[in-house]
């Protein structure tokens, strides 16, 4: 996969303060010097850091994304919520939608579908997360589950050129466990057959220790990285080892 254009997306989750942004200088220096292969680096910080981070990365190739948003494009009485237009105005170019951590809080496929439509209309690129639980995996329902998530979450969205699919098995997130290489290859192949010409990323406990195994999966187009992306050295190591 070393000849491909690879995505590295850092999901900071609920992490980071203004002083945390100082650590990004290492990443900026690395990206400017690392000319070995083409790649796209995207940070998805909490919404409090989207604008200051976008200012830091203004003269670099690094992009910013949000972690979620409200489904309405209109302003309204939605205390604590932000919509796709507000994300874009703050400096975001991408947004993560359908993450299992939000699905566990009650987000349904129908609501996620409304969010996807809103974000595309606002000009944001969508990182659409899908994946099965361990219980669903044990029952051998993985493909059935992700097919259902795709069918409902991307309903009536004909043009998918601004959508990246992130396959994140729920049981792998934060557990340190990743799927077997053959298993992962098969699932990604299934997703690509289901959705033509769409980039498919893998997410779930991606770190500097397992990236050399994950990079061997030929049909993966990049990685959605959680906790490891919060440390600049770890993120740099992941990118380096992808190409070694």
Residue carrying structure tokens 């290489």: 181
Residue 99 a catalytic site member? yes
How is residue 6 written in tokens? 């690879």
What's the token pair of residue 87?
Answer: 């994300």
Distance (Å, rounded) from C-alpha 46 to C-alpha 53?
A: 10
Question: Is 110 in the active site?
Answer: no
Helices 109-122, 142-153: axis angle to 10 degrees equals 50
Q: Which helix (H) or strand (E) holds 5?
A: none
Beta bridge partners of 130: 167
Tokens of 7: 């995505």
For the CA atoms of 25, 27, 28, 33, the dihedral, rounded to the nearest 10 degrees, stands at 130
Q: Of 99, 101, 107, 132, which residue is the catalytic one?
A: 99
Q: Is 64 helix (H, G, I), strand (E, B) or coil?
A: strand
Tell me which residue has tokens 């951590």. 101
Sign of the torsion angle spanned by Cα atoms 27, 211, 149, 147: positive
Q: How many CA atoms lie within 13 A of 28 on its CB side?
A: 13
Q: Which of 185, 222, 182 is nearest to 206 (CA)?
A: 222
- Catalytic positions, written as ranges: 99, 168
């Amino acid at each position: 996969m070393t000849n491909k254009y690879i995505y590295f997306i850092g999901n900071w989750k609920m992490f980071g303060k203004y002083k945390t942004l100082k650590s990004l200088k290492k990443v900026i220096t690395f990206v400017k010097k690392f000319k070995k292969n083409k790649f796209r680096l995207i940070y998805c910080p909490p919404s409090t850091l989207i604008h200051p981070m976008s200012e830091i990365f203004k003269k670099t190739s690094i992009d910013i994304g949000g972690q979620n948003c409200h489904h309405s494009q209109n302003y309204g009485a939605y205390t604590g919520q932000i919509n796709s237009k507000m994300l874009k105005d703050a400096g975001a170019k991408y947004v993560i939608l359908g993450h299992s951590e939000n699905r566990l809080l009650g987000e349904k496929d129908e609501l996620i579908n409304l969010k996807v439509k809103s974000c595309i209309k606002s000009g944001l690129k969508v990182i659409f997360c899908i994946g099965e639980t361990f219980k669903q995996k044990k029952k051998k329902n993985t493909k059935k589950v992700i097919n259902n998530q795709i069918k409902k979450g991307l309903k009536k969205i004909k043009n998918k050129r601004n959508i990246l699919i992130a396959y994140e098995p729920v049981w792998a997130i934060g557990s340190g466990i990743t799927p077997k290489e053959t298993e992962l290859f098969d699932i990604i192949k299934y997703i690509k057959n289901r959705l033509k010409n769409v980039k498919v990323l893998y997410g779930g406990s991606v770190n500097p220790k397992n990236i050399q195994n994950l990079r061997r999966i030929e049909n993966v187009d990049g990685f959605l990285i959680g906790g490891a992306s919060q440390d600049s050295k770890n993120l740099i190591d992941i990118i380096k080892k992808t190409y070694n």
